[in-house]
Chains A and B, each alone.
Chain A
């Protein structure tokens, strides 16, 4: 199986008030402006994490899902891959095959 290249996770930065939001919406939550520039969300800190043991979608293996505090104060829900994270760990954020993915970053 070939895996697609990871893509950047993109937030929307308001041209008027600089608020960055994700997931994408119709109007800026700060000022209701409707023009945005793209803002890559590249990394963050793990704030909470849980292992989904009894998922409704019946994953074949336990899945680690984290709430990550990313740039601009955004909290993103991400699947953790690569290593089990601890609260406070730094992670990179990307889109892997359409799934928001966090990977622990090592110094």
Chain B
């Protein structure tokens, strides 16, 4: 059987907003779909696969979205795994194209969650939350990650200022991202004195909830010319410890060796990292899991690599500054990495970006996230034409 070579040819984001008005989730996903398509020479007639992740698409499903977009499709997928959904969809899409199940797949993720929707979502996230956390009431995942951050601080000798260094660095990147909802530079005073949410978490440790959507288009490499992005390696490990641990490592720690071996590179070779940043501690944890602090000195990682931009981390501002559009959180990192690798990131472009690392994390089954995945993406072929800037 012929093995086709899948490439990511386009990425687009329907601008995130904290004031979406009456726009529907389907509208957001639709706009992201056509925005991505417009960045290629493909048309909707070329699309024969669709994958979607959304908390608020219901009662519609992926097939309804295909019908609403007018797309006959040979491959479809709907992924409920929140922050891990972007990479999970990508991994399955890659295999579908390699195997010839589809030729051109569009992956979509996004949400418009009203305050009520969000309250319903966090209280009914799963049976364990519904039965054992919502009745406390725990008020949502911030509480659980407040506890996790306390454990992290104790284990690694970190203080709020250290997480602040990450938050401030990402906000600086966001200053060069017109799509971010928080762009004003933060001082350490701003960070430390912000209203507490669930101590030690303050306002800027928690993602701003926005409405928006993200799209990625993957096709066979012989369908397009110009620079593309390939998946050089991918790995996942979910429910690594049945929630019997402390959440201070993710499944990535078990598969890190495998992903670097598969890619044939090491952490120092990465030009930019889009690490799932639902909370600053979780971004640290995933970086450590993947070998960015081999000596275990997270203080040094934060202050000399992240804070200085020597490790370009979440160059869109990440979810902490750009916003979290529900289930789009996982796709956001893929879109930013693709934008960087296609050299269309404008003012925030990492020079000569060639290799990017993206992670996904999420789905708190009881006390911390159970899902973890990662991909290493690589730029291919400068092409003869420079694509127009995406921002």
Contacts and interface: CB of A to CB of B under 8 A. Distances in A.
Interface of A: 21, 23, 29, 47-57, 59, 63, 65, 67, 73, 75, 77-79, 97-100
B380 interface: no
B139 A55 contact: yes
Contacts of B367: 67, 75, 77
B138 A52 contact: yes
Interface string B199-217: 1110000000000000000
Contact of A56 (B140, B201, B244): B140
Given A56-B119, A65-B143, A50 B198 contact: yes
The 8 closest A-B pairs by CB, nearest first: A55-B139, A48-B147, A29-B242, A50-B146, A79-B136, A52-B139, A56-B140, A99-B135
B198 A99 contact: no
B139 A63 contact: yes
Contacts of B132: 23, 77, 100
B266 to A, nearest CB: 34
Given A23-B128, A53-B196, A54-B197, A78 B136 contact: yes
B142 A77 contact: no
Given A59-B139, A100-B136, A23 B131 contact: yes
Interface in B118-153: 118-119, 122-123, 127-128, 131-140, 142-144, 146-147, 150-151
A67 B122 CA distance: 19
A97 B137 CA distance: 12
Nearest to A50: B146
B199 A59 contact: no
B197 A59 contact: no
A48 B151 contact: yes
A75 B246 CA distance: 9
B135 A98 contact: yes
Interface string B95-119: 0000000000000000000000011
Contacts of A47: 147, 151
Given A23-B366, A29-B244, A77-B367, A51 B139 contact: no
A57 B150 contact: no
A73 B244 CA distance: 8
Nearest to B140: A56
Interface string B41-72: 00000000000000000000000000000000
B195 interface: yes
A19 to B, nearest CB: 9
A65 B367 CA distance: 12
Given A56-B119, A65-B143, 4 more contacts: A50-B200, A51-B198, A54-B195, A77-B147
A99 B197 CA distance: 22
